[in-house]
Amino acid sequence: MVKQARVIGVGSYVPERVLTNAALEAMVDTSDEWITTRTGMKERRIAHENEFTSDMGYEAAVRALKDANISANDVDFILVATLTPDYVFPSTACLLQHRLGAEKAAALDIQAACTGYIYALSLAKGMIVSGLYKNILIVAAEKLSSIVNYKDRNTCVLFGDGAAACVVSADKTEKSLLIRETCLGADGSLADLLILPAGGARSPASIDTVREELHFLKMEGKEVFKHAVRRMEAASLECMKRIGLSEQDIRWLVPHQANIRIIEAIAKRFDLPIEKVYVTIHKYGNTSASSLGIALDELLREKSVDKGDNLLLAAFGAGLTWGAALLTRESLYE
């Protein structure tokens, strides 16, 4: 029998500190009205100075393991999706492996920016279906406040910190979500549209890179918007096509929480009422790789997801990268 991959537990974590639009008004030339109408954001969470990506990831991971009713010793592999790791090396996944006490688990960081959660789901699905592993812990965590320039009003209003996690397993449970299909894409020719210019081997940290503020993310917002809508739509349509579903078969659309206008544009293209789109952007802003996972966790806790319901996940990020995943609620007794 062909093995199948399922999400059997989810969890998320956001820092306590809230950064409101009113607070941003005092920091840069902006306004609550400007931010809200253009992004849909009202507040975002900011990690404490001594709270790092691995710390937030740990909290989300513990909750996901509890939800899945397994221990860290049951985990075979840990995948961490992040563009703000604690260190360039060692990997944040290795730090989490040690802190969780997952002694039998291999560990790996992946970097697909805001699409990281879906890339991790696709990798985990492949690992399970191949028979190599049984339980894979996915963690998506970001401390974007560490690379945001709070003097740049075009970017500082957008981003927040947070983490999400899920357990992907070969087992079926009472509330498992079958990962039916994933569809990924990338276009490195557009890398400059969203980039952290310095800090890597091409431009190591120096007095000049610090002076020129090259350790903060840079974004061409209008171009990113244009590609985000088109690429997320294409990946979602391909994902549904592969398994013979249409937009009418989707119970919930869970998009990357980048911008309310992007989310509304995707819903309109799919002819989905906004009531079928799960939105958290007003509370947390854009938390990159973790945003989709945070939204999925909240959806599963706060809304009814019944047997046979289809969840469409879609994301887009720096790279450029994009992807979609189709999850379906199962029944343990089928």
* Residues identified as active-site: 114, 256, 286
Centre a 10 Å sphere on the Cβ of residue 37 and count the other Cβ atoms it contains. 11
Centre a 10 Å sphere on the Cβ of residue 334 and count the other Cβ atoms it contains. 6
Rg (CA), the chain: 19
Q: Which two tokens stand for residue 121?
A: 């789901």
Q: Which residues contact 212 (CB under 8 A, 6 or more apart)?
A: 198
Do 229 and 222 touch, CB atoms closer than 8 A? no
Q: Where on the phi/psi map is residue 105: left (φ > 0), alpha (ψ -120 to 50), or beta?
A: beta
H/E stretch holding 273 reads none
CA gap 61, 5 in Å, rounded: 18
CA gap 52, 333 in Å, rounded: 41
